[in-house]
Structures are given as C-alpha cells and as structure tokens.
Amino acid sequence: MSEEARLRDEICFMAKSLFDRGLTAGSSGNISARLSDGRLLVTPTGSSFGRLDPAKLSCLEVDGRQVGGDKPTKEMPLHSAFYETRSGKTGAVVHLHCSHCVALSLLPDVDPENLLPPLTAYSVMKLGKVTLLPYFMPGDPGMGDAIRGLAGRRSAVMLAAHGPVVAGKDLEAAVYAIEELEETAKLALLTRSANPSLLSAVQIGQILHTYDVEWD
C-alpha cells in the first residue's frame, strides 16, 4: 500500500473513532494531514466524520491548489496557518467542536493566554499552553490570521464558541492531543467550583524540562 493510500485510510479511521465517541457530531470538524511530498489530504466540506470515503478526501498541492477529491473544508485557513507558522513541526491538524471544550471557551473568567488549568501532567505534556482566540464566523480567514499572530508559539488553540484546533507532528499525535484537550476541559468544568489542587510551578517546570514542552 502506498503512503497516500495508508494516510487516506488513517484519516478516515481516526475520524470515525472521534465521531463514534461523540467528540464531533453531524458534519462538524475537519482534519488535514501532510504527505512526504508536501501535498495535503483534507476532509471535504460538509462531510461527516462517521462516513468519510478515503477516495473522496480533498488533495491539495503545496501551493494550495486542489488536485483531487471533493471540495475541502471551508476551515482551510486554520490548517494553512499552522503549516505555515510551525513548519517542520506540523504533519497534521485536527479541528473539532467537542462539547466540553466549547463550554469552557464560553466562561467569563478563564485565562485567554492559558485556557486550561494545570490539572494533570498529560495536558501540559501534550498541549503546552492553549490560547483562547476570539469568536469568528465559520470559514472566516481571520481565524488563520489570528493563528499566524501567535508566530508558531502554540500547537493548540481554542476558538471561542466554536472549538479546538490542534497541530501535531503526525495525525496520531494531533488526535491524541485534541482528545487530551477535551478531557482536560471536562475535568476543568467538573472541578470548577471545588477549588481543585493544581500542579505546582515546580511540577510544571519538571514536565517542561523532561518532555521539552513549548510554554513561553
């Protein structure tokens, strides 16, 4: 099986797993992944993660021209911005509308520079800091500009009243990281009024040093 065929199958497999577990619904969410020659495979606009066809995934050249498949997601500005600003670190981008993440983005007293409280080591390891970006209309190119404004300092962002976007070195890493983001958002909501114990600055520093996590 060729690299492209394997990646097409992997995108559809991961997408269905996310859909089946309720991490995205209807035709929401999108995934892109980069081939070794620089082309991107992208989930089509208006498609359901539960019923993707590997043969119909959009294929884009390095310059963004579509060369195969159905029309790509209208959220391509999100994906393009991560590939541009985190070149060499991004092999895949995943965007979901998962409920706990969206709920956390709606609360009035969260820290927009570091949305997730440091509840577990794994959220720090897999995500670093998560920046909360303002609300944009779906498909607004301004979303990409907002990510570019971070100058590659973040691998994960939350779009207010919309959902998370996570870049990873490959598809598996991006999916695992966005799953961790949703689980940590859930924990943050569950413990919000309980004054939970957070990781200390020393504990966070140990994680950052041991796992070479981006934090500044």
Q: pLDDT value at position 1?
A: 85
Domains contained in the chain, CATH given: 3-211 (3.40.225.10)
Q: pLDDT value at position 216?
A: 85
And the tokens for 36?
A: 């070794």
Ranges in the chain, pLDDT < 70: none
Among the listed residues 37, 57, 60, the one whose alpha carbon sits nearest the alpha carbon of residue 47 = 57
Q: What DSSP string describes 112-159?
A: TTS-S----HHHHHHH---EEEPP--TT-THHHHHHHTTTT--SEEEE
And the tokens for 133?
A: 């970006």
Q: Residue 25: what are its φ and ψ, rounded to 5°? A: -140, 160
With contact defined as beta carbons under 8 Å apart, do 64 and 48 qualify?
no
Measured CA to CA, the distance from residue 110 to residue 113 in angstroms comes to 9
Q: Please identify every residue annotated as catalytic.
A: 122
Q: pLDDT value at position 123?
A: 96
**Residues 167-176 pLDDT 10s:** 999 999 999 9
